[in-house]
Amino acid sequence: MPKIEMIFSHESASGGKGELGIDEGGKLYWNEKAVVTEQQVKLSWWVNCAIIVGGFATLIIAVFEVLMYFKPSS
């Protein structure tokens, strides 16, 4: 087991305790158990579609704002 240096500890009002630590390699630990920091997130198809639509809408709004900025005043 790698040497873990505790960098934060917390005790809740109900008596639960937790400690956050890090080892020499920079891996994160909570209560001396490794924290999973690289995990693939899977989203529903409709969430992916909403993200794509939102991205395109943001791009279109940005283009119109740039065009309005350079529009000559009348």
Domain, as residue range, for 6: 1-35
Whether residues 30 and 12 fall in one domain:
yes
CA-based radius of gyration for the chain: 24
Q: What is the mean pLDDT of each run of 10 residues along the chain (74 residues)?
A: 88 90 91 84 92 98 95 78
Whether residues 31 and 44 fall in one domain:
no
Residue 28 pLDDT: 92
Measured in whole angstroms, the distance separating CA 11 from the mean position of its chain's CA atoms is 25
d(CA 22, CA 65): 46
Provide the strand spans (E) within the chain: 4-11, 17-23, 28-30, 33-34
Whether residues 19 and 42 fall in one domain:
no
Whether residues 4 and 26 fall in one domain:
yes
Q: Total structural domains in the chain?
A: 2
Whether residues 49 and 29 fall in one domain:
no
d(CA 53, CA 44): 14
